[in-house]
Amino acid sequence: MKLYIYEHCPFCVKARMIFGLKNIPIALHVLANDYETTPIAMVGQKMVPILQKDDGSYMPESMDIVHYIDNLDRRPLLTGPTQPAIGKWLKDISDTAQRLLLPRFVRASLEEFATEQARRYFINKKQASLGDFEQLLDHTPGLVKKISQQLRDLDPLIKQPNACNGEVSEDDIHLFPWLRSLTLVAGINWPTRVADYRDNMAKQTQVNLLSSMAQ
């Protein structure tokens, strides 16, 4: 099987996680961010992740891929409980996280942004809805302060370092990708339980953090 991704994409991380959690080998293929031909030929639109199955067919949508892989052996792993507070927290941080992350993704050494054309494609698309990237970077101190407080709000919700609710669940699939993305932002104050969970989940899922590129 092959998984087509962008390295920065939280939805791609969701799909990557289930392979790591179940220790299933997967070939990762990073697409250039401005390259439209391949995904459109596969699934009819420019999107990732896309799973190429063993039979050669293609499957888009991160959670569809997660459920497909989790149930391949008929022994699903994502059986733990979910808690509405995790979903609410993710909704609450969405705007702050995007304002911090989008300007930084294109400045990081990520394969999908290896060319100036790919970088410019992303910048033009995202600035149209979020605003000028340089202005967002100017607001870093306030945004970092806000996300640090939001992470402190998350800390008491983390029950175990190996699963946010005590048993691995879909909440982990939704939560870890955003924590992983936030490791790209320098200066964030990470509470102990959140940091332990973030680091443990990275090991369990075999998905690298972005700390080495923090800016």
Residue 131 and residue 53 share a domain: no
Verify that 142 and 54 share a domain, yes or no: no
Residue 76 lies in a domain: no
Domain boundary, last residue among 23, 39, 70: 70
Mean pLDDT for all residues in the chain: 97
Residues 129 and 209 in one domain: yes
135-167 confidence digits (pLDDT tens): 999 999 999 999 999 999 999 999 999 999 999
Residues 134 and 50 grouped into a single domain: no
135 and 40 part of one domain: no
Distance in angstroms (rounded) separating the CA atoms of residues 40 and 33? 13
Q: What is the tens place of the pLDDT at every residue in 84-97?
A: 999 999 999 999 99
- Quick one: 100 and 66 in the same domain? no
Q: Is residue 78 part of a domain?
A: no
- The total of structural domains in the chain comes to 2
Q: Is the entire prediction scored with pTM above 0.85? A: yes
Cα separation of 198 and 190, whole Å? 10
pLDDT of residue 200: 98
For residues 6 and 49, state if they share a domain: yes
Whole-number Cα distances in Å, 138 to 61, 99, 201: 34, 11, 31
The Cα 38–Cα 31 span in angstroms is: 8
Does residue 35 sit in the same domain as residue 109? no
